[in-house]
Amino acid sequence: MAKVNNTDVKIACRFVDRLAEKGYRWMCAYPYPHVVIVYEKNEVEHLREMFPELKPMRGRGMATEYSLDGYKVILVGFIKTAGVNTIAHECVHVKNYIYGSVGVKTDPDNDEAEAYFFGYLFSAVYEFAMQAGIEP
């Protein structure tokens, strides 16, 4: 498994102070140095202030990774009627972005850590999606 620099994790998590000031729903994808922001499609204009290159959402959901001020940020957006399947689908993309950027190799015969991490991501993203008014 790839070694993660805890200093990078702490720096990334401090970045969220800026996000919290703006009212974004965010989480640190600990133990990885990534911040995940969850939004509803109609909130995208507010996100363009920090992410001007954010592309329009097509379909029911979208996960996109960015680098902002040296931080790894993943934006996860949903339409109001996205549903739980779309939320889970986008969480797979989030996990894959994170694993790909830090060099984690998955193993179908030893995937317990991956399953726990996916559960952690899904639980947090689902909760934020509900706060944003996304229908399950």
Could you report the per-residue pLDDT of 83-102, keeping only the tens digit for each?
A: 999 999 999 999 999 999 99
How much is the pLDDT for 20? Answer: 73
With 50 as the cut, is the pLDDT of residue 1 above it?
no
Mean per-residue pLDDT, 37-62 = 88
How much is the pLDDT for 21? Answer: 75
With 90 as the cut, is the pLDDT of residue 49 above it?
no
Mean per-residue pLDDT, 103-122 = 95
Q: Packing angle between helix 112-131 and helix 83-102, nearest 10 degrees?
A: 130
Q: How many Å apart are CA 42 and CA 3, to the nearest integer?
A: 38
Domain boundaries, the chain: 6-131
Strands (E), 16-125: 25-28, 34-40, 61-68, 71-78
